[in-house]
Every structure is written in structure tokens, then in C-alpha cells.
Amino acid sequence: MEKKLLVYNSLNGKKETFKSIEKDHVGMYVCGPTVYNNVHLGNCRTFISFDLIFRYLQFIGYKVRYVRNITDAGHLENDSDEGEDRIAKKARLESIEPMEVVQRYTTDFRDTMAKFNALSPSIEPTATGHIVEQIEFIKKIIDKGYAYQINGSVYFDVLKFNKDIPYGKLSGRKIEELIHNSRLLDGQSDKRNPQDFALWKKAEPNHIMRWPSPWSDGFPGWHLECTAMSTKYLGIQFDIHGGGMDLKFPHHECEIAQAEAVYKKNPVNYWLHANMLTLNGKKMAKSTGNNILPNEMFSGENSILNKSFSPMITRFFMLQAHYRSIVDLSQNALEASEKGFNRLVEGLKKLDKLEASEVTSGLNIEDWIKSCYSAMNDDFNSPILIAHMFDAVKYINAVSSGIKQISNKDLESLSKNMKSFFYEVLGLLTPEKDENKNELKQLNGALELLMKIRDKAREDKDFETSDLIRDSLEKIQIQINDSSEGASFKIN
């Protein structure tokens, strides 16, 4: 199919024909989670939206380098330059190391996204793994004259930058409005202007997370990591930058300013933003109790819903709304999605049992396929795609009951495309495939444990046990490969 794709560009507020910088290749950066707590459903909605986009770009033939970062330092409590580092605060409250917090919640995030059948990004860099790159980027901004150092901290000079390059092009905020709406700085702030933002902060004596720099022992500003990592892995100009709508200002606005300060050009051609998820008509918030975590939904152990909903039902529910629309999660909405999902699954099952006729009546399969592509080519409109898939299920039921007919050629085409859009584009799994996926994960875990037991047996020169494990696994076609780095297995 032709790659005539329209995307809504937040930079100018309209749909544009997508054209990648490099033919047939796409560079896409998405702001990932700050790993100080269990990932919440609102974040999951954003990452499922970009998983859909990632999948579709690949589906229509692009080779995509998808970079999604892990924020494990520098994100302060109030999203600006004040308060405690979120991860350090969690570590202090639980009396553990900050990197223990990072490990725990990074694992939770990845496990949760795997349950939603989200594909892993091509690269998943961390802020702490790119301190050197961030320091070097700050030096470049200082050299260009758009940053100043004071008392061991470094700040981006927004007013000076704005004299040369307009600040606020993504959010539409004018610098005069920002000045008018800013509160006066108190005597404790090192900033020259309230609009300025931190590139590097000097660490207070009790601040756990700190690194040496030319200016002080400290830590990078939150906005800096994404600029440093996106340009490192995707170049000084790349195709798509995504994230939640709440990141437009100040985070993404500051990213643009940092890159333009150094390279004098807009770093990203298309800015895409996913909208928020509400719960029973209200904003999700732990403080009000109007909140539910993914695993609480999957298990049914919560006070919000009266039954459990699987990851696939939840994913399907989210994809039934356009990624730029607010979607409200509720008992009724989830139950409606559950019925709809089950209808699609039953339709796929019937599809495999249909008997072909000489001719097709009732649905032009070629037009139906074009409609599905047209939906996704119109800014990844998954709800319209799903509506077309329901039309196909209605037709499948009519053929199954003998009311309509389908030729062999059209049956093959319908089957191929229904399955492609269900599994590859929407990223859904039927209950059987979902179960198989979990069973495979459990099998891999058991085999890894056997490898550890066998390695220990070999260490202890218990070759009888070591050989028994190897020979027994080979009988069921699981091959063990021994190397200097340890044993690995391959299922034949």
C-alpha cells in the first residue's frame, strides 16, 4: 500500500503529509517514564498510543528507530527546578538506594508494557547513563551564549534566547505572557529570570544523586536528558517526537530551545502528543483515591471496578479512542469494550472456518482493505479502523450463516488483512495467544533456573547432574550450548 500518511503536527496544529528525512527510515523519540513509582494507566495509555504508531509505521514498510528514555535522575517534585528529586525522595522514604528504586520500577514498567503486548523500543537509554553527553551539551549552550553559571548551577537564559530565536513555538505561549504570569523570584533563587530553567543543579550536601561536572558536584536538569539522548541516537534533526499532552510545556518547549540554541534549527519535524486518560469523568489522582493501577485492573483487586479486566481488553478499550482524544475509563466503558473485543475474536475464529464460494456478495473486499488503510493513514485513526473491522465481522457472520458469499481469493485476502490489522497493527492477542505468551515466559524462566542449577553442578564437579540436565533437555529438543560466558539454551 502507498505510504500516504497524514499526521497531526502539534507544532502548527494541523495535519500534514508525513515525509521522513531519510527515505523508508523513521527516527522517533518518545519521552518515557520517571521510574519512582508503579507506572499508572495514564502513562500506559501514552505508550500504547505510540506502540500503535510504531507498529503501523513498520507495517507500511518503514524501518523505525524508536528511542524511549528512562528518567532515573533530575526530575524534581514540581516538574521545575525546585523540590527533591522524585527518585531520591522515594529512596529516602524507603531507606534504600536510589538505584534500587530505579531497578524496581523500571522492571515494573517493562513487565506492565509486556502485558499490554507493547513492542520494546529500539533503544531505551537512561538519564544516568548519559551524564557525560549532558555535560557536553551544556558546554555547547554556554559557548553559544544562552546559559549562565551561578553558584555551581547552570541555567538556560530564556529571555536572551528569545531575542534571537522565538521561544514558545510548540505551546503557543508568548514570552510576554510568561513574564506577566511569572511570580517574582524569592531571595533564595539563583535564576536571573523566573522563565529560565536549570541545565545543571549544584547538589545540596544531603542530595544523594550527584555527579562531578566543571561547575559543581550536582545533577542535570530534567529537560536536558531528552535533548542529549535524542540527538545522540537520532541526529540533530529527526522525524517524530512524542509524549503525553502534559509534556508540551515546559518540557518539550525547553527541549526545542536547547537544541535550537546549539544547532540553530528545529530538532523535530513532527511533534505528536497523546491525550489523557480520566477515570469516571475525573482526573486520576492518588490524593483523591480516584486512581487505579494496571495490575489492580488485571486482578480485580480494587475499589473502583467490580470485576477484573485483562490487559488485552484494556488495550482494546484505549485503542477505541483516537490517541489525541481524552478517553474516560469506567465500568460501563470497559464492559462495552470487552463485548466488542470478544466479537472480534469470535469473528477471527469463524473466519478460519468459512467455506469459499464461486463469487463474493455483500462486501467489496478490496474497498474494505483500502478503508482500513485510509483510517490508519489519517493520523493513526484506530477507532475508525476498528469500526471497519466490526463491519467485516458482520459480513463474516453473514457468510457463516449462508446469507452472503465469498470467493476463495477474497477469503484469503480478508483473512490475511483482518489478522494483520488485529495482531500486527492494533497489537492485540486472542485469549489463546495471550495464554501461550504467558506460558512461554514461564517456560523460559524454568529453563533459566535449570541453567543456573546446571552451572552450579559443573562448578561443584557434579558432572552426573550436569549431564542429566543436558541429556534430558536434548531429548525434548532443547539444545544447551556451553561457552566461557556460561550456558545458554535453544528450543529447536
Q: Is 8 within a domain?
A: no
> What does the pLDDT look like over 150-197, one tens digit per residue?
999 999 999 999 999 999 999 999 888 777 666 555 545 789 999 999
C-alpha 317/C-alpha 44 separation (Å) is: 12
* Distance separating the N- and C-terminal Cα atoms of the chain: 35
Residues 438-454 have a mean pLDDT of: 76
Q: Are residues 383 and 314 in the same domain?
A: yes
CATH assignment at residue 301: 1.10.730.10
Q: Is 6 within a domain?
A: no
> What does the pLDDT look like over 305-360, one tens digit per residue?
999 999 999 999 999 999 999 999 999 999 999 999 999 999 999 999 999 999 99
DSSP letter string, 247-288: GIIIIIHHHHHHHHHHHSS-SEEEEEEE--EEETTEE-BTTT
- In which domain, by residue range, is 450 found? 431-491
Q: Is 137 within a domain?
A: yes
Q: How far is CA 299 from CA 28, 267, 438, in A?
A: 33, 43, 15
Which tops the pLDDT comparison, 64 or 434? Answer: 64
Tell me the CB-side half-sphere exposure of residue 210, using CA atoms within 13 A: 17
C-alpha 48/C-alpha 274 separation (Å) is: 10
% of the chain surpassing 90 pLDDT? 76
Q: Are residues 228 and 304 in the same domain?
A: no
C-alpha 47/C-alpha 118 separation (Å) is: 8
Q: Are residues 211 and 301 in the same domain?
A: no
Check residue 80 and give its pLDDT.
Answer: 63
Check residue 449 and give its pLDDT.
Answer: 84
Residue 462 cell numbers, joined: 557434579
Backbone angles phi, psi at 435, to 5 degrees: -65, -45
Q: Is 14 within a domain?
A: no
Give the list of residues 6+ apart from residue 10 with CB closer than 8 angstroms, or none: 170, 248, 271, 272, 273
Domain boundary at 377, 404, 425, which?
Answer: 425
Instruction: Name 64's bridge partners.
Output: 26
How does residue 291 score in pLDDT terms, banded at 50, 70 and 90? Answer: confident
Residue 246 in this model has a pLDDT that exceeds 70: yes
Identify the DSSP state of 421.
I
Residue type for position 214: P
293: three-class secondary structure by DSSP: coil
How does residue 454 score in pLDDT terms, banded at 50, 70 and 90? Answer: confident
Q: Are residues 227 and 82 in the same domain?
A: yes
Give the list of residues 6+ apart from residue 395 with CB closer than 8 angstroms, or none: 362, 363, 404
Cis amide prior to 250 (ω within 30 degrees): yes
Q: Are residues 483 and 435 in the same domain?
A: yes
Query: Which of 52, 73, 178, 61 lies closest to 117 in space, CA to CA?
Result: 52
Q: Which residue has the cell 477505541?
A: 320
DSSP letter string, 165-231: S-S-TTTT--HHHHHHHPPPPPTT---SSTT-EEEEEEPPTT-S--B--SS-SEEE-HHHHHHHHHH
Check residue 184 and give its pLDDT.
Answer: 56
**How much is the mean pLDDT over the chain?**
92
311: three-class secondary structure by DSSP: helix
Q: Which region among 157-166, 192-201, 213-222, 454-463 has the lowest average model confidence (pLDDT)?
A: 454-463
Tell me the CB-side half-sphere exposure of residue 154, using CA atoms within 13 A: 28
Residue type for position 383: P
Q: Are residues 377 and 445 in the same domain?
A: no
Give the list of residues 6+ apart from residue 358 with CB closer than 8 angstroms, or none: 405, 407
Domain boundary at 425, 441, 466, which?
Answer: 425
Q: Which region among 17-26, 139-148, 447-456 has the lowest average model confidence (pLDDT)?
A: 447-456
Residue 1 in this model has a pLDDT that exceeds 70: no
According to DSSP, the β-strands at 277-279 and 327-329 are parallel
Domain boundary at 380, 406, 425, which?
Answer: 425
